Amino acid sequence: MNKVFLIGNLTRDPEMVSTSSGKWACKFSLAVNRAFANANGDRECDFFDIVVWGNLAENCGKYLEKGKKAGIIGRLQTRTYQTERGENRKVTEIVADEVEFLSPRDQAAAEPKPQQAKKKSGKPLIESEPVEGYDLPF
């Protein structure tokens, strides 16, 4: 079984590329925090290269950007290629089947606005006027 689950932050803006057949791919890197601290007490993170294909790639290119949090479900893939100089290279990357956008679209929408809870009648649940004639337990 080859299954990878990651949650982390993008380290750079996504890069959109198109194959010669016109299929879209989106490439980006994800920084994932480790669950433990090193000997100095510092939390380290790992960096993973992610590749997304097709319609999902187009959405990633539109809505993701550096610093945004994303969840990835995919598979680990290793491939080799030859550089223009004739050198052989080996690359290990995550091919994402699912991408969940975990950061809000904009920070203004993410900040909760204080609102007073109301009944269906539109009156506040807690009245601001003092209640007389009752012994309060506190």
Q: Which of 53, 13, 44, 16 is nearest to 30 (CA)?
A: 13
Q: Classify strands 43-53 and 69-82 as parallel, antiparallel or unpaired.
A: unpaired
Angle, CA of 59, 62 and 66, to the nearest 5°: 110
C-alpha neighbours within 13 Å on the C-beta side of residue 48: 29
Count CB atoms within 10 A of the CB of residue 68.
17
What is the residue-wise DSSP string for 15-52?
EEEE-TTS-EEEEEEEEEEEEEE-TTSPEEEEEEEEEE
pLDDT per residue as tens digits for the range 77-86: 999 999 999 9
Token output for 43: 């939390």
Report pTM. Answer: 0.71
Residue 112 clears pLDDT 70, i.e. is over it: no
Question: Distance (Å, rounded) from C-alpha 26 to C-alpha 45?
Answer: 22
pLDDT per residue as tens digits for the range 31-58: 999 988 888 988 899 999 999 999 999 9
Question: What domains can you pick out in the chain, each with its CATH number?
Answer: 4-107 (2.40.50.140)
Band (pLDDT 50/70/90 cuts) for residue 107 is low
Q: Which of 51, 45, 53 is nearest to 77 (CA)?
A: 51
- pLDDT of res. 15: 97
